[in-house]
Each structure stands twice: as structure tokens, then as C-alpha cells.
Chains A and B, each alone.
Chain A
Amino acid sequence: MAHGAPSHAMPSAIRIRDVYKSYGALQALGGVSLEIEQGEIFGLLGPNGAGKSTAIALCTGQIARDSGSIDIGDAGSPRAARARALIGLAPQQIALYDELTARENLIFLARVHGMPNPPHRADELLDMVGLLPRARDRVGTFSGGMQRRLNLAAALVHNPTAIFLDEPTAGVDPQSRTAILEVVMRLAAEGRTVIYTTHYMEEAQRICSRVAIMDRGRVLAIGTVPELVATHGGESVVTVDSVAGQHRVRTREPLREIERALAEGGATAVRIEQPDLEMVFLSLTGRRLRD
């Protein structure tokens, strides 16, 4: 997936304008504005309490905003019936019925959404997430990774165009993580918009076309990962080991620093620590993402 800037030729799939939301005295969102393009995988990054879940709850119509506006495509407010049909949600918590089989879970949700031929749709999705062989097993017997994959499939039963995935790979095995990421990239390739929250920086760097860093109910920065790293990642650290000892230099031009060290001679080892999204986060919030 390319990390390029959004194509402004694409229509906005989700528009959030100056949205405020408070729970009593606690302000969960304080004037958030985002514009997410169709076909994007948009990462929402932030520590616990940053306002990510509140933003998702507002965008999926679970709760009402205090002020501002949210539009899902041209269907308007997420609480409108038309918009609901466009929204898919895979909550952070596994939201499935353990006593039902994988197939029964998907058939039930497809029926609730009024999909034609629910059994066929269920089988399609089970195949997509690699669970077709376990279709008739009860969800309670599934591993955490398999439940996560089914949780994702359940969000897709009604062919939504705006898909909200809240920590979809939390606590899963590598095989399931790969399967989930492949599905997410396939959804974006089909032109669907994916809003993705995660604690895994490498995951965000790998799949997100753009990222918003949130903290304390506000958006601190938005951009592609290279843009954010270049703007907020700070300097690279070059460490040169030589017979004279170890020498560490912070620089925005690490290659020039290495050339200089080599020209001086005596270097036995050279290491570069380049800034990444974690550094961006640290520099913007003063905290690590997992704090």
C-alpha cells in the first residue's frame, strides 16, 4: 500500500467537522475535524483515553455528538438509516455469540441487515477470512485469532463502504494478523474506506495511507507516515564506534555524518537510528503509545 498523500479527486467518504463530545465534566472530544477519502486506510493513533473510541462511536452512530457534524458519504449523519447501511464496525471487543456457530452468527447478522441469501453471504465471508472449514463450529471453541477474523467478517456482512476497525489485531497470533491485514488491504483496494485504530506502529506504517495522531480528545497531527516522520519525528541518531571510543550525533542528515566519520578513519561500527511513528508520537504527546 502506497503512503502517498490523499487524492483530492476522490470524494470524501467520512467528513467530521469540529465535533465536540463530553461525558459530564470529561471532555472526550474537543473540536475534532477529519476528512477521510474513499479507498483510504486511515489510521487513528493515540493512547488510551485519547478519544479514538469516542470518535468511532460517534462516526458509527452509537452515541450523539454535542456539536459539530459528521457525514458518511452523501448519506448524511451516521444515525440516519441510509448512512447505517454504509457503516461496518468491528468493535475492539469480540462481539459474537459464542453459543452459535460461525456460520449462524453471520447468517443472523446478514438477516438483520436484510441481505439477500444470507447463507451464501456467510460462506463468502467465511472463505474470505479463512474460516470456511470451521463454519459449523461454535464460536466459543475458536482461538482468539479466529474470533478476531470472524469479528472482522461480521462487520462486512452487508457490504459496507465505510468500515471502522477498532484494534482488529489486538492479541492475535501472527497467522491471524496476516490474514486480517490482507483482508483490510483488499477492502481498500475495492474502494472501501477503512478507519483503523491500533497500538502497533509497524502495522500502521505498513498499511495506513494516512494517520491522525490523537491525544486528550484532540487531533495533534494528520498526514502520511513519511510526512509525519519528516515533520515531527525529529533527528536521526548516528552512533560511531571507533578505537577512540563511542560517538553519538543527532542529525537531520545522517548519511553526511556517516561519510564524515568514515573520512576521519578509525571507525569500527556505525549505527543509524531513524525516527519512526513511535518517535512522532513521543514528540507530539510526550508519551509512548503504550503508556
Chain B
Amino acid sequence: MRAVAFLALKDLRLLLRDRAAAFFTFVFPLAIALFFGYVFSGTSSEPLHVAAFVEQASPAASLLMKALDEDGGFKVTVIDSRDAGEQLVRRGDAVALLVVPSTYAEGLDGVFSGGGAKLGLVVDPSRRAEGAMLVGKIHEVAFRTVFAGIGDPVQFARVLDRMEESLKASDLSFTDRLAIRTALSRARTMSAKGADSSSTTKPQSIADWKPVTVEIAELSMRPGVPANTFAISFMQGIAWALFGAVLSFGSGIAEERQRGTLVRLLVSPMSPNQILMGKALACFVTCLMTEWMLICFGVFLFRVEVSSWPLMVAVTLVTAFGFSGIMMLLAAGFRTQGGAQGAGRAVLLVLAMIGGGTVPIVFMPPFLRIASNLSPFKWAVMAAEGATWRSWGMSEMLIPLAVLAAIGVFGLTVGTALVRRSI
């Protein structure tokens, strides 16, 4: 058994020394994951796309929408329901969903009297930085709209009414109340005469004062819906990682044969079965390494959420086993390195593509979705998605895991027998 491990280690070392093979096994899948993740999330210097849901139409809400749209930093799409807005955020079509509650206009009336307007913001957790920028922008725009409202004598009169009501309810001394009431009365007179609103008394701590309160909520993981585009693209990346590993080791037997080292191994105390086990072990370890590299990148840098770590461990183990079987079938099919790599690339490429390696299966047309069942990559990607954004339990995971395990058993049994016959 130690000899098998030494053979696998040697193969891993050879893989790392072969720059092209190492690139396609480790770097290419990551590049694919990042590429598709960014492509789908629409990260660019374009205005931030914000979905907005106005619970109850009002002049104040319209003013806010208009101001946001005219800001230049936003592209606002007003939608009919909160759910539709959240879907846009989940799909990466919008950075955030701005919820303008039905109390917004009323809240603005109490902006100087302890109440204040509130806005809701639902952001994509993977795009918090853009969310924070959005909050700043909303404050800026809201500030402008509030003071625009003060220029309107009718709205300003309502603001003053609310302030006087608050004053009545307060426990201030008689002299304080008198002084404030006098000031409010003067402001009402000035507003009625169209006087400059700059004379309005400003709160003492103006630096801390905000015209609206923005309540931020991160979009919650909903079973069956990816939290962000990277949750999809990193699972796609796993397909390409498996593709690279299978291709690298599938031609390994042919390579050993061509360079003559297979003869040396056959003359050694290792049995042919042990030699093939060494090859399969190297492929298995490489599959695991690349899968976990992508998962770690996704989780720690791109906020991909794993719904069940034990299931993810099971998925990666079974997937690596299944693709080791595919590697053995590839090794059995071709006697030359060129043949194994050429034909392997052609066949695996098609399988990876219809298996969700490029276009996610959820976006595929129905006929392609059916065809994808023939691709082992589909089951690997689906299982990985099951342990992440699909939030599957063990019962849902059984089918993809069983398919992958069956592929592994079939590939290793039949492939090993065929390779043994050829050596």
C-alpha cells in the first residue's frame, strides 16, 4: 500500500511540475469561477442598479425616486412587489432593493420632531461594499429631498404642526416651551411669506442628524435560491477542476507506457492493480484538492455559503471517487498520450458544457436540461449546489451521490480490467 501512495505522490509531483497541466487543473477552474461570477453579477463602472419597491405612493416617495434616478450614480427600477425585488438582488440584477415604507411621507413630517422617515434596504451579502456606498448616497439624496420639502409651505406647515404637537407632549419648562413656540411661530410666518428657509433653527448636533434612517437587511439565504452569483460560478468551477484532473491523469497510463516507465513499474514488486490504484489515488487526491481550493476561495472571499459541511465533505469525497472512475475509463480507452488527451478533451468538454460547466443548468432550455443527465459533471455540480445554496438534506442528496458513486465503481472496475488487459 505504501508503494501505491509513493506512486500517487510521484504523479502529483509530476502534475505540479507540468506547468500547463497544473494551470488547467488548479488555476483555470478558479479563473472560470471568477469570470462567470463577475459576468453574472454585472460588476462594472455602470450606475448601481437598484430595485425599489414603494409600499404606498406619495409625493415624497416620488420625489425620492426621482432624485435617486437623476443622481447619475443609480439606475432605479421600481417594481411591484418586495419578492420581485429580492429576486432581482438574488440573481445579481440589482445591487440592493430599496423599500420605501407606507410611513415614509408621514415620517418626513416628523423629521425635526423626534420621529423621522425610515427606508429599508435589502442588500446582496456579497456586495456589502456597494451596499454601504448606496446608504451614503441615499442619505445624500434624502437630505436634498427633505429640504426641498421645507421649501414647500404646505409640507413645512405640516412639519411645524408635528413639532408643536411634540412640544405639547414634552415635559419642558413653561419658559422653554414659550421660547420654542415663539420660534416655530416665527418660522411659520416666514414660510408663509416665502421667506428664506435658511433662517430655520437647525438641530444642535447637525453632524449626527440624518434626514432618514436606513434599515439595512442582508438578503437571507433562501433554500433553492443562490445568495449570489459566485454561489453558482464556484460550483461551475468545480466541474472544470474535475475536468482538468481527469484529463491530466487519464493520459497517465499511456504516458507511462510511452516513456517506458510502465515497464519499469511492471518489473517492480508492484502488481498491475497496485499501479492502477496509484494512478486512481493521485486523481482522487487532485480532485479533492481542487474542489476544496474552490470551496475555500468561494466561502472565504466570495461569501459562498455552505449549508451543510458534513454533506459538502461527502459530496467532495464521492465526486472525487466518481471522477477517478472516469479517469480510469479514459485511461483504458487509449493507448497513446495524444489519443487519451485529444479524445478525452473532446468528450469531457462536451460533457462539462452540458453538465453546467458554462451555462448553469438552471438557465438551460428544457431539452438541454434532460440531456445534461448524461453528464457526470451535472451530478457533481448539482451535489455541490445541494450542499451550498440549494440547502439539500441527505434524502435529496442521495440521487446525485448514488449516481457519482455508481460511476466511480463502474469506471474503476471496468477501466481497471481494460487497462490490465492492455498492459
Residues in B whose Cβ lies below 8 Å from that of A87: 267
* Complex: chain A residue closest to B423, CB-CB: A62
Mark interface residues in A80-98 (1 if CB within 8 Å of B CB, else 0): 0100110111010111111
Given A61-B267, A89-B267, A100-B17, the answer on whether A112 and B7 have CB atoms closer than 8 Å is yes
CA distance A73 to B313 in the complex (A): 51
Task: Say whether A91 contacts B263, CB under 8 Å.
Answer: yes
Q: Is B395 an interface residue (CB 8 A)?
A: no
CA distance A61 to B268 in the complex (A): 10
Selected from A60, A61, A84, A96, the residue in CB contact (under 8 A) with B261 is A96
**From residue B407, how far is it (CB to closest CB) to chain A in Å?**
30
Most chain-B CB neighbours within 10 Å: which of A81, A96, A97, A104? A97
Which size bracket describes the interface of A in this complex? Answer: 20 to 34
**From residue A65, how far is it (CB to closest CB) to chain B in Å?**
16
Given A61-B267, A84-B268, A104-B13, the answer on whether A95 and B3 have CB atoms closer than 8 Å is no
Q: Is A253 an interface residue (CB 8 A)?
A: no
Give A110-148 interface residues, CB cut-off 8 Å to B: 111-114
Task: Say whether A97 contacts B259, CB under 8 Å.
Answer: yes
Q: Is A270 an interface residue (CB 8 A)?
A: no
Mark interface residues in B270-300 (1 if CB within 8 Å of A CB, else 0): 1000000000000000000000000000000
CA distance A108 to B6 in the complex (A): 7
Mark interface residues in B41-84 (1 if CB within 8 Å of A CB, else 0): 00000000000000000000000000000000000000000000
Task: Say whether A112 contacts B265, CB under 8 Å.
Answer: yes
Mark interface residues in B358-392 (1 if CB within 8 Å of A CB, else 0): 00000000000000000000000000000000000
Task: Say whether B269 contacts A95, CB under 8 Å.
Answer: no
Q: Which residues of B contact A (CB under 8 A)?
A: 2-3, 6-7, 10, 13-14, 17-18, 259-261, 263-270
Pairs A–B under 8 Å by Cβ, sample size 27: A60-B267, A61-B266, A62-B263, A62-B266, A84-B268, A84-B269, A85-B269, A88-B267, A93-B259, A94-B259, A94-B260, A95-B260, A95-B261, A95-B264, A96-B261, A97-B14, A97-B259, A100-B13, A100-B17, A104-B13, A108-B6, A109-B264, A111-B6, A112-B6, A112-B7, A112-B265, A113-B268
Further pairs besides A95-B261, A99-B14: 9, Cβ < 8 Å: A62-B266, A84-B268, A91-B264, A94-B260, A95-B260, A97-B10, A97-B259, A99-B18, A112-B268
